[in-house]
Chains A and B, each alone.
Chain A
Amino acid sequence: GQQVMQIPQYQHVQEGEDFTTYCNSSTTLSNIQWYKQRPGGHPVFLIQLVKSGEVKKQKRLTFQFGEAKKNSSLHITATQTTDVGTYFCVSSNTGKLIFGQGTTLQVKP
């Protein structure tokens, strides 16, 4: 079945450094969503990408969908302590939502 591989699993950065997490699929994705889960919290929707090569920005966050619609990335510029949490990519296959394993970001002040 379809799998979404997300890397890295963990990332520790100094506040102010950039951060990127990647999701890769062996099959073409119809769309991809990104969620953030703060420690002790629940996942919260960030954004959805649908079009090949799509790029969307939310303040310091930049989301990209690959040209072949098989990969996606989330880039955070100049991380802040409020960015701490786990970032998940989510794709769908025949109606089933498939979550990447998540990338847990820790930011040192």
Chain B
Amino acid sequence: KAGVTQTPRYLIKTRGQQVTLSCSPISGHRSVSWYQQTPGQGLQFLFEYFSETQRNKGNFPGRFSGRQFSNSRSEMNVSTLELGDSALYLCASSLVAGSGGANVLTFGAGSRLTVL
């Protein structure tokens, strides 16, 4: 079956712009979570959605937002981009949400954002 698909794979923006990233989970997976990966901070949890509801949120400013659609596809948006937002943004899907034995994550290839 198809894996987790993230688009776009690469993008370049300038400071002050906004960006929307898309994630299509594995068929049947209802939970989608987002992560920011940078060399300095490692992998940091952004937020998780399950059945169109945000279940958990990491410690990121309000410029970072997301949503999930009825088909489980998810988008994340970053407004008023800053240089420090340059990162690899990873999306992962899982069957269920939150902690627990079934919450094995399948990651997409990521969207690499460069802010100039």
Partners in one complex: yes
Residues of A within 8 A of B (CB): 30-31, 33, 35, 41-45, 48, 50, 88, 90, 92-102
Q: Give the residues in chain A near B90, CB-CB below 8 Å.
A: 42-43
Residues of B within 8 A of A (CB): 33, 35, 42-45, 48, 55-56, 58, 90, 92, 97-101, 103-110
Choice from B42, B48, B100, B109 contacting A99 with Cβ under 8 Å: B42
Q: Are A33 and B104 in contact (CB under 8 A)?
A: yes
Given contacts A92-B103, A95-B48, is CB(A102)–CB(B42) below 8 Å?
yes
Q: How far is the CA of A18 from the CA of B90 in the complex (A)?
A: 30
Q: Are A42 and B105 in contact (CB under 8 A)?
A: no
What's the A-B contact tally at a CB cutoff of 8 Å?
Answer: 61
Choice from A44, A95, A99, A102 contacting B56 with Cβ under 8 Å: A95
Given contacts A42-B110, A101-B42, is CB(A48)–CB(B101) below 8 Å?
yes
Q: How far is the CA of A96 from the CA of B43 in the complex (A)?
A: 13
Choice from A45, A93, A100 contacting B105 with Cβ under 8 Å: A45
Given A42-B90, A97-B45, A99-B43, 5 further pairs, Cβ under 8 A: A43-B90, A43-B92, A45-B106, A101-B42, A102-B43
| Chain A residue nearest to B3 in the complex (CB) | A42
Q: How far is the CA of A35 from the CA of B107 in the complex (A)?
A: 10
Given contacts A42-B107, A42-B108, A42-B109, is CB(A96)–CB(B101) below 8 Å?
no
CB-CB nearest 3 A-B residue pairs: A92-B99, A95-B98, A99-B43
Q: Give the residues in chain B near A93, CB-CB below 8 Å.
A: 99
Q: Give the residues in chain A near B99, CB-CB below 8 Å.
A: 30-31, 92-95, 97
Q: How far is the CA of A42 from the CA of B92 in the complex (A)?
A: 10
Q: Give the residues in chain B near A44, CB-CB below 8 Å.
A: 107
Q: How far is the CA of A46 from the CA of B18 in the complex (A)?
A: 35
Q: Are B56 and A96 in contact (CB under 8 A)?
A: yes
Q: Are A43 and B42 in contact (CB under 8 A)?
A: no
